[in-house]
Amino acid sequence: MSAKREVILSGIRPTGRLHFGNYFGAIQSFIRLQDGDADCYYFIADYHALTTITERREIYRATLDMLKTYVACGLDPARSVIYRQSDLPCTAELSLLLGMVTNIGHLERGTTYKDKLSRLEADPKVEGNPLSFGLLGYPVLMAADILIVKADMVPVGDDQRQHVEMACDIAQKFNHRFGETLKIPRPVSREAVRIPGLDGSGKMGKSDNNTLDLLDDPKTVLKKIKGVETSTDPLDLDTDSDAPEMVLPKMPPGVGVLYYLLNLLAPEEVYLDFLGKYRRKEKFYGMLKNTLAEYVNQFNAPIIEKYNDPANSDESIEAFLRANAEKVTPVALDTVEACRMAMGIGHSLYRA
Ligand code: TRP
């Protein structure tokens, strides 16, 4: 008898256009994981998006666009099950049940909640959305997402690690109180790749307006890259001639970003060639920018083409998402039923 396959699960917030930070921080690892021998489940977290998006039509649109972009990047619908969170409404019931074993104090330490609270304290009018029950309960809903499919492993970036740990804590507490019911996932172990923003800041992020997007056309790419600040003089180089060739010398932030991206996208000899120019303090930033823009465009071109494939109509994507939710529904209902029974409220009516 073959061993049961492991389940890998991760959620994706439908946040509009995806950028290089998303790609190298998450999408790439999702694509790699689907070549392994676990069952991969990825879902678009549209319930979670309701904590921030105020425009009703935006979430629906962003969900479909997000799915199209992921598939265009190489997430293979034949090998990964990609569904929409709200197509599995029993997640909401599990979230309610898990809420009964979750302390408010635990939730108040959640990063998403704490961030919003401190932004509101700094400026009460900062954003349209209130400090909602939904936001406080964000980690409980996330726990439900994870536990409902009996996930073994949950690959996430650093910013979500705490939430996954909270899911494990909640599951443990449930099992302790009601008997072994929920599968506890393994702790997250993934080195997060952090792509610097085009403004030279530590991290590329949508809200910082410093992103290079996967669907940017060549004109936009060139404009963004030309806009990277390189007017600062090169820093004094450590003239340590023993330093390995690949190690980046100290650079002003904008220049550092260009090299970082070039290293990611261009062949090694191109990268080393430009590194040599930097060490020799040649004047070459214009050329570096043009070269980098070309590699970015080469990277984006197949994604854009696949994204625009006319076969990807909204209707076909809808049908695809629904079919996938149906694949996950049996295991999800099984988990919810087990929790209902463990807690003593009996079977649900939606299952014969
Ligand atoms: N909160 C995650 C994010 O912002 C998305 C998410 C929702 C998720 N539910 C999840 C990730 C469950 C992993 C597992 O990126």
**To test ligand 1's pocket by mutation, which of 27, 150, 163 has the most ligand atoms within 8 angstroms of CB?**
163
CATH number of the domain encompassing residue 231: 1.10.240.10
Say whether pLDDT at 300 is over 90.
yes
Handedness of CA 28, 31, 35, 40 (dihedral sign): positive
Grade residue 239 by pLDDT with cuts at 50, 70 and 90. Answer: very low
Handedness of CA 27, 32, 35, 38 (dihedral sign): negative
Say whether pLDDT at 72 is over 60.
yes
Does one domain contain both 301 and 317? no
Mean pLDDT of 63-76: 93
CATH number of the domain encompassing residue 54: 3.40.50.620
Does one domain contain both 40 and 135? yes
pLDDT of 244 reads 45
Q: Ligand 1 centre from 141 Cα, in Å?
A: 9
Does one domain contain both 177 and 324? yes
The answer to whether residue 119 sits within a structural domain is yes
Say whether pLDDT at 247 is over 60.
no
Say whether pLDDT at 173 is over 70.
yes
Averaged pLDDT of the chain: 89
Does one domain contain both 109 and 47? yes
Mean pLDDT of 294-315: 94
Which of 63-67, 140-144, 153-157 holds the top average pLDDT?
140-144
| Choice among 114, 203, 223, 226 that is catalytic | 203
How large is the C-alpha radius of gyration of the chain? 23
Does one domain contain both 35 and 77? yes
Q: Please tell me the total count of domains within the chain.
A: 2
Does one domain contain both 181 and 274? no
Grade residue 228 by pLDDT with cuts at 50, 70 and 90. Answer: very high
The answer to whether residue 143 sits within a structural domain is yes
Does one domain contain both 124 and 160? yes
Say whether pLDDT at 240 is over 50.
no
Say whether pLDDT at 248 is over 70.
no
Query: Domain containing 249: what range?
Result: 216-307
Atom of ligand 1 nearest to the CA of 157: 15
pLDDT of 227 reads 94
User: For residue 154, what are the contacts with CB-CB under 8 A and spacing of at least 6?
Assistant: 8, 9, 10, 146, 164, 167, 185, 188
| Choice among 4, 68, 114, 116 that is catalytic | 116
Does one domain contain both 177 and 224? no
Q: CA–CA separation, 230 vs 171, rounded Å?
A: 50
Mean pLDDT of 57-85: 91
The answer to whether residue 103 sits within a structural domain is yes
pLDDT of 9 reads 96
Residue 68 among the catalytic residues: no
Q: Ligand 1 centre from 257 Cα, in Å?
A: 28
Mean pLDDT of 251-261: 90
Mean pLDDT of 185-204: 82
Mean pLDDT of 155-178: 94
Does one domain contain both 260 and 320? no
Q: Ligand 1 centre from 40 Cα, in Å?
A: 15
User: For residue 62, what are the contacts with CB-CB under 8 A and spacing of at least 6?
Assistant: 14, 15, 16, 49, 53
Report the nearest-CA residue for atom 10 of ligand 1: 11
pLDDT of 348 reads 85
Instruction: Name the residue type at position 5.
Output: R
Residue 144 · residue 90 · CB < 8 Å: no
The answer to whether residue 75 sits within a structural domain is yes
Say whether pLDDT at 132 is over 50.
yes
Lowest pLDDT segment from 34-43, 248-257, 315-324: 248-257
Mean pLDDT of 199-211: 87
Q: Using the structure block, give the residue that is written with the tokens 């029950």.
A: 133
pLDDT of 53 reads 67
The answer to whether residue 180 sits within a structural domain is yes
Report the nearest-CA residue for atom 5 of ligand 1: 11
Residue 116 among the catalytic residues: yes
pLDDT of 51 reads 85
Does one domain contain both 172 and 320? yes
Pocket-forming residues, ligand 1, beta carbon under 6 Å: 9-11, 13, 45, 48, 142, 145-146, 154, 156, 160
Say whether pLDDT at 237 is over 60.
no
pLDDT of 249 reads 67
Mean pLDDT of 164-188: 95
| Choice among 173, 183, 206, 277 that is catalytic | 206
Q: Ligand 1 centre from 139 Cα, in Å?
A: 9
Grade residue 1 by pLDDT with cuts at 50, 70 and 90. Answer: very low
The answer to whether residue 266 sits within a structural domain is yes
Handedness of CA 164, 166, 170, 176 (dihedral sign): positive
Does one domain contain both 229 and 294? yes
Mean pLDDT of 332-346: 96
Report the nearest-CA residue for atom 7 of ligand 1: 11
Does one domain contain both 87 and 140? yes
The answer to whether residue 243 sits within a structural domain is yes
The answer to whether residue 207 sits within a structural domain is no
pLDDT of 80 reads 92
Helix (H, G, I), strand (E, B), or coil: what is residue 41?
A: strand
Q: CA–CA separation, 64 vs 61, rounded Å?
A: 5
pLDDT of 99 reads 98
